[in-house]
Amino acid sequence: MVTQLPITVSLTTPTVVVTQGGPPVIVQIIITSTSETALVAVIGLPAGLQQKYAASNTNPSGTLTFTAAKTAPPGTYTPTVNVNSAGQMASTTFTLIVKAATGP
């Protein structure tokens, strides 16, 4: 019987800072898995904040891009990244700071 190694997920930075209506913020996501694909979901994002996951060409690690609309409420949040790969689940939390836009 072959024992399957558990999958893991982490972000290269524990804190992500985005600005209302500002440029997208790209964060590296590191996923260790025996599979080349993964389903990634970020739970607990505030309204007005979007995220997009893009895998690399050879493994499920890649990037998460966060974009805050001008209507995203400023504050500090603790979202969870859930990953499903090779029939297993893993998750990690991180700190998300939405900064208020300055100027016009």
Give the total number of structural domains in the chain.
1
Q: Which domain holds residue 44?
A: 8-99
In a domain, 23, yes or no: yes
Q: With CA atoms as reference, report the closest residue to 81 among 39, 38, 40.
A: 40
In one-letter notation, the amino acid at residue 35 is S
Residue 103 — very low, low, confident or very high, per pLDDT cuts 50/70/90?
low
Average pLDDT over residues 5-34: 95
**Residue 3 pLDDT more than 80?**
no
In a domain, 67, yes or no: yes
3-class secondary-structure state, position 19: strand
The rounded Cα 72 to chain-centroid distance in angstroms is 17
Residue 93 — very low, low, confident or very high, per pLDDT cuts 50/70/90?
very high
> What is the SS3 assignment for 76-97?
EECCEEEEEECCEEEEEECEEE
pLDDT digits (tens, 9 = 90+) for 34-88: 888 899 999 999 999 999 999 988 889 999 999 999 999 999 999 999 999 989 9
CATH number, domain with residue 35: 2.60.40.10
In the prediction, which pLDDT does 58 show?
81
Length of the chain measured in residues: 104
